[in-house]
Structure 1
Amino acid sequence: MTLTLQGRTRLRLATIFTALLALLATGAIGAVSADASPQGCHVDYKVTAEWNGGFIADVKVTNLGDDLDGWELEWAFPSGQQVTQAWSADIASSDADATARNLSYNSRITTDETVSFGFAGTWSGANATPTSFTLNGVLCDGTISDPSVTPSPGGELNAMETVAAMEPGWNVGNTLDAIPEETSWGNPPITEELLDFVKASGYKSIRLPVTWTDYIGEAPDHTIDQARLDRVTEVVDWAIERDLYVLLNLHHDSWMWINATPTDHDAVVAKYDAVWTQLADRFKDHSELLVLESINEPQYADATDEEGDAYNDELNRLFHEIVRGSGGKNADRLLVLPTLHTSGEQARLDALTATIDELDDDMIAATVHFYGWWPFSVNIAGGTRYDENVEDDIVGTFGRVHDTFVANGIPVIIGEWGTLAYDYTRPGIIQHGELLKFYEAVQFQARDKDVTLMLWDAGSFVNRNTLQMRDQHLHEWFVSSWTSRSGTASFDSIYLDNSAAIESRSLTLNRNGLEFEGLWHGDTELAEGSDYTVTGDTLTVTSSALTRLSGDRAHGVNTSIEARFSDGMPWQIYIIGYDTPVLADATGTTESFAIPAQFTGDRLATMESVYAADETPTEPATWTPFKEFWSTFQPDYEAGTILLKPALLNELDDGQTVRLTFHFWGAGEVAYEITKNGTSVTGSAL
């Protein structure tokens, strides 16, 4: 990332790549003494290729200090990776620690000169980027300084550097913010082992959402329950012990009592004051790795946006006054202030800018949340694809927060991000390849705009019972996207109609600035010309290759191939055989109606619902015929049914024929009709 140093007097030149967790190696060969000449260095570490269990990395070391004659670079792998082969350096490794030494021909590095080497390695579970490098015992943090000085994590960082050191971040969602208990929403209690796993997975910070409501006493003292305060402190301490930044907040309190500010102003403000006074006092001596956030998603009942901005300004200012006035390390701790609703709209950004400018405090960060273009994020209104609407929303939001805040020296944390509908218990709402494009694009924009992301995870990414990733391939995309782009294509599947002859099929490559390097089937490289052709950005897989790859053309995924690019993750392309799905007549009720369905290898993308008489959209959401996936309909591939939900059925007009059009990824449209009479529903295939 590139730091923009405008408008903040404390900002100083530094490279943020290794700002956190940097410990100088002791006893290193060639370590520089305190009276040695100035030294400094910068390391660019990049994974250039990655596959299941293996990777290739390129390392560039730039000497910023006096000339070196002989060098030794040391680092620790955060995920336990191992080096198996090296070039342009002699690399030795023991457990997680690795040391690269010069060869005879590249031993000398003059000032501002760069030396490069590379290696192949293995990984298991995660392939997180090393966070700290030392060159001849000198920390490679991009500065030129007395090499005897060893910076401590967090303590010497300004606001921009602190926020950058928190990237990437992870939310312990639906846990201490659950109501009323930590386990009430299905997640197990937070453990030290969970934080070890999160750290080993490559995350540098956690956001710890806490809902305090049920643990706050009556007025006027509003005393926080001691056991609750001790439990939160315990988790904060565990994270800090692991050199993880912690972002602590007031979470669902925003809608449980803070939203009553317009109608119960004085009582809410008094309660807010009391709660933050106690929290500030409890944590005032904690490490600078603790960061405080005033309110999660602030909202104020029945207030206009302008009124809401004013209430938000008042509470943000009160939070700032309380924490700064509590003394200790709170006097200089990073504080995080949200926009109204944590919205990325320009008017909301401008309102928060006014607050921050008037506070005139250079240890403040802004925060917004980002869940993407709503129709795509929940799959409504036909939002099944990563299209221009989705991309424009990403580019626009990140551009606004950069230009409003970052370009003026105010760092930004996207305190929550993802898609609203992603949930491991509700698979298929967003098609997997389209989801990967979204995640890749968001993380690129964050890197490009110098913004820190904190993934919202309520249990869908990390399985907290087994301490495993629920989708390892998806996690590998996250890890790759922390440092590089990945190429994609217009779709991740080629559906082959089993009733038709196999013909050549084309996809559009989205290179994302990378070079396309070929198609592979497992460990076998496919032959350009006979197996595939590339014309411009059009990749065409030949009929002969598809015939061979599809084998006996069974229903479902027959095999997969991957498009490899010069960096990042390969793009998986699934070869899928199908026949047109067959739906059957059915009867049921508005509370339980299932359409028997032979999916025959195909998958459902979306559903339209209109009255047959005039083709007007039915409820709910009469502004679109395309209904929201899962809340109104749900495929059950194992049971062989499509469930229609009460949210749809209860809203239909009695006696009116409703035409449903199911859109499948392979077969396209399949029609069906239903009629409701009272609580009874009948359906028939068309």
Structure 2
Amino acid sequence: MRHPPRLSALLGGAALAFASTALAVAGTASGAAAAPPCTVQYSVVGSWAGGFQGSVTVTNNSAPLHGWSLGFGFLDGQKISQGWGATWSQSGTSTTAVNESWNGTVGTGASVTAGFIASWSGSNSAPTAFTLNGAVCNAGPGPTDPTPTPTPTGPTDPPGPVSGAPELAVTGNRLTDQNGAPRRLLGVNRSGAEFMCVQGYGIFDGPVDDASVRAIADWEANTVRIPLNEECWLGLDNIKPEYRGANYVDAVKGLVGRVLAQGMTPIVELHWTYGQYTGNSSGCPDVHASCQKPMPDAQYSPAFWTSVANTFKNDRRVAFDLFNEPYPDRATPTTAQAWSCWRDGGTCPGIGYEVAGMQDLVDAVRATGARNLVLVPGIAYSNDLSQWLAHAPTDPTGQLAAAWHIYNFNTCSNEECWQSTLAPVAAQVPLVAGEIGENTCGHAFVDRVMKWFDDRALSYLGWTWNTWNCNSGPALITSYDGTPTAFGTGLRDHLRALN
């Protein structure tokens, strides 16, 4: 979110993590029956007391499909509560997954994957019979089929979610804790450290003491996103001495510690950066980190993330958000150039400074040995993820999630767009809406956002825990004791209802 100037101015536990029942048929021996029209691999990705995450990958061995319906039956009364990658329905034990609009075409030899979360009790046997558009998949159990691995029960079950802030990890398309239990990031942004220091007023906008952080936790939030300024963190001499370098770093570390003490996840995020940009949608003509720039800069942004990662790499409860709201699409002539700039950086059309791409920032973090969760935003002020999967940076640790921002005035602000552009991403990697908000001083729009994300067990954070005008902010609170605005009431009451 851009700001008014100063406002005054699931891998699961042990054996369960990789428990899966492979039902695919590799081929047929001489004289055996022909290959079935489809093969299926059913996997238990992670499990916990009373619940599990499952995945089904279907390979089409026949003519190309333009619409598909997968059917199977659970053997032990398992019940699906949430799903993705398909429209799921269940009647008794009979279960059906129908393609989404974006994954209905499956060519010959191509595969499609869908996942779900379900409950179980007693036993959790894998289904053994599948149909695709009515045709029977696989060849049935036989000597070439692997023996299904039973899901452990009883005392071997992993414990439930850990208490307090978890050590987050990416398991498939879900966030999990160190016990393998699924986790969602639900909370708020705490703005201030990105702009107060560069404007010469302080480090934070309002109190960040124990009482004010406890007030966030009282909303049943479990996550606080903390926007930062790279010049203040690195101690550049255009910042007042009292607000830069070690003083700034220590203040941020103090807030991170207080967030952790309240059992919440801190996300440290690079918000304002160096580099002069005066093109389309410029936030300011200043070369310094005094507004939102279209992309991070090669001169300081990798150094910022090297320092931040070294600071927090020994605590995987802290997550990293690489850059607030990239908008190279406003500078470059084509969308293809924007996505190339986004990932690879370098000399980007329309941007006058050397750009650090998302790959550069991931590399800077991982070079320190940090394995912390990293959020990677899209373009168009983080509102466009349409090419995120095709351009995603490489991460040797596999600990990347997609970050997305949504306000009622954004382009992708309706369920149709979310289904067509977000659902494919959420089917592959964890998806976090790092900022949700509206400038109506109400919450009707974010109510729709939260429902869509709740239905898919995804994460979201409200903008912002600051006492600003709800139109220009928008602001969640009128006081740092947690008194909500009309807008904030929607988020507060919703978070409390989830717990």
Contact 1:165 1:204 in 2 (8 A): no
Equivalents in 2 of 1:18, 1:191: separation in Å?
38
Equivalent residue letter for 1:324: R
Correspondence list, 1:141-180, <5 A: 146=156, 152=162, 154-155=166-167, 157-159=169-171, 160-162=174-176, 165-180=183-198
Equivalents in 2 of 1:230, 1:17: separation in Å?
42
Q: CA deviation at 1:243?
A: 1.7
Q: TM-score if structure 1 supplies the norm length?
A: 0.41
Q: Give the structure 1 partner of residue 331 of structure 2.
A: 302
Correspondence list, 1:70-81, <5 A: none
Correspondence list, 1:118-517, <5 A: 146=156, 152=162, 154-155=166-167, 157-159=169-171, 160-162=174-176, 165-180=183-198, 187-217=205-235, 225-253=245-273, 256-257=274-275, 268-285=297-314, 287-300=315-328, 302-304=331-333, 305-314=335-344, 315-327=357-369, 330=370, 332-345=371-384, 348-350=385-387, 352-356=388-392, 358-359=394-395, 361-373=397-409, 393-408=413-428, 410-419=429-438, 421=439, 430=440, 435-457=442-464, 458-459=466-467, 460-465=475-480, 467-471=481-485, 475=488, 477-482=490-495
Q: Give the structure 1 partner of residue 59 of structure 2.
A: none
Q: CA deviation at 1:214?
A: 4.2
SS in 2 for 1:462: coil
Q: CA deviation at 1:290?
A: 0.6
Equivalents in 2 of 1:335, 1:322: separation in Å?
12
Contact 1:394 1:445 in 2 (8 A): no
Q: CA deviation at 1:470?
A: 3.0
Report Cα offsets for 1:637-685 as digits up to 9, x if no partner. Answer: xxxxxxxxxxxxxxxxxxxxxxxxxxxxxxxxxxxxxxxxxxxxxxxxx
SS in 2 for 1:13: strand
Report Cα offsets for 1:94-115 as digits up to 9, x if no partner. Answer: xxxxxxxxxxxxxxxxx99xxx
Contact 1:216 1:225 in 2 (8 A): yes
Contact 1:334 1:363 in 2 (8 A): yes
> Which stretch shows the higher mean deviation, 228-237 or 302-311?
302-311
Contact 1:462 1:469 in 2 (8 A): yes
SS in 2 for 1:468: coil
Equivalent residue letter for 2:399: M
Contact 1:344 1:368 in 2 (8 A): yes
Q: CA deviation at 1:394?
A: 2.2
Equivalents in 2 of 1:16, 1:442: separation in Å?
29
Equivalent residue letter for 1:252: W
SS in 2 for 1:196: helix
Equivalents in 2 of 1:445, 1:225: separation in Å?
41
* Structure 1 unaligned regions, length at least 5: 20-40, 45-61, 67-110, 113-141, 375-389, 422-429, 486-686
Q: Residue 16 and residue 344 in structure 1: after superposition, are their counterparts in 2 closer, same or farther (change >3 A)?
A: farther
Q: Residue 144 and residue 233 in structure 1: after superposition, are their counterparts in 2 closer, same or farther (change >3 A)?
A: farther
Equivalents in 1 of 2:403, 2:247: separation in Å?
29
Q: Is 1:64 aligned to 2:126, yes or no?
A: no
SS in 2 for 1:235: helix
Contact 1:64 1:144 in 2 (8 A): no
Equivalents in 2 of 1:182, 1:396: separation in Å?
44
Q: Residue 337 and residue 186 in structure 1: after superposition, are their counterparts in 2 closer, same or farther (change >3 A)?
A: closer
Contact 2:303 2:364 in 1 (8 A): no
> Which stretch shows the higher mean deviation, 293-302 or 243-252?
293-302
Q: CA deviation at 1:412?
A: 0.8
Equivalent residue letter for 1:318: D
Q: CA deviation at 1:230?
A: 1.0
Equivalents in 1 of 2:279, 2:253: separation in Å?
28
Q: Residue 269 and residue 444 in structure 1: after superposition, are their counterparts in 2 closer, same or farther (change >3 A)?
A: same
Q: Residue 260 and residue 145 in structure 1: after superposition, are their counterparts in 2 closer, same or farther (change >3 A)?
A: farther
Q: Give the structure 2 partner of residue 617 of structure 1.
A: none
Task: Tell me the number of residue pairs that the alignment of Structure 1 and Structure 2 aligns.
Answer: 327
Q: CA deviation at 1:229?
A: 0.9
Contact 1:17 1:165 in 2 (8 A): no
Q: Residue 437 and residue 150 in structure 1: after superposition, are their counterparts in 2 closer, same or farther (change >3 A)?
A: closer
Q: Residue 204 and residue 369 in structure 1: after superposition, are their counterparts in 2 closer, same or farther (change >3 A)?
A: same
Q: Give the structure 2 partner of residue 548 of structure 1.
A: none
Q: Residue 469 and residue 218 in structure 1: after superposition, are their counterparts in 2 closer, same or farther (change >3 A)?
A: closer
Equivalents in 2 of 1:406, 1:344: separation in Å?
14
Equivalent residue letter for 2:319: V
Contact 2:453 2:459 in 1 (8 A): yes
Q: CA deviation at 1:177?
A: 4.1
Report Cα offsets for 1:291-346 as digits up to 9, x if no partner. Answer: 0011111234733343332222122111111211212xx2x32111111234433x
Equivalents in 2 of 1:449, 1:418: separation in Å?
19
Equivalents in 2 of 1:398, 1:15: separation in Å?
30
Identity %: 14
Equivalent residue letter for 2:390: A
Equivalent residue letter for 1:280: A
Q: CA deviation at 1:198?
A: 0.6
Q: CA deviation at 1:11?
A: 8.6
Equivalents in 1 of 2:121, 2:415: separation in Å?
34
SS in 2 for 1:297: coil
**If you compute each CA radius of gyration, which structure gives the higher value, 1 or 2?**
1
Q: Residue 11 and residue 184 in structure 1: after superposition, are their counterparts in 2 closer, same or farther (change >3 A)?
A: farther
Q: CA deviation at 1:187?
A: 3.4
Q: Give the structure 2 partner of residue 13 of structure 1.
A: 46
Q: CA deviation at 1:204?
A: 0.7
Equivalents in 1 of 2:332, 2:211: separation in Å?
43
* Structure 2 unaligned regions, length at least 5: 1-9, 13-17, 21-42, 53-77, 82-118, 126-151, 281-286, 288-293, 345-356, 468-474
Equivalent residue letter for 1:478: L
Q: Which has the higher strand share?
A: 1
Equivalents in 2 of 1:283, 1:205: separation in Å?
16
Q: Give the structure 1 partner of residue 95 of structure 2.
A: none
Q: CA deviation at 1:357?
A: 6.6
Q: CA deviation at 1:241?
A: 1.9
Contact 2:230 2:301 in 1 (8 A): no
Q: Give the structure 1 partner of residue 27 of structure 2.
A: none
Equivalent residue letter for 2:413: D
Contact 1:167 1:453 in 2 (8 A): yes
Q: Give the structure 2 partner of residue 378 of structure 1.
A: none
Equivalents in 2 of 1:344, 1:360: separation in Å?
26
Contact 1:174 1:185 in 2 (8 A): yes
Larger relative CO (CA 8 A, sep 6+): 1 or 2?
2
Contact 1:399 1:449 in 2 (8 A): no
Contact 1:175 1:183 in 2 (8 A): no
SS in 1 for 2:413: helix
Contact 1:261 1:311 in 2 (8 A): no
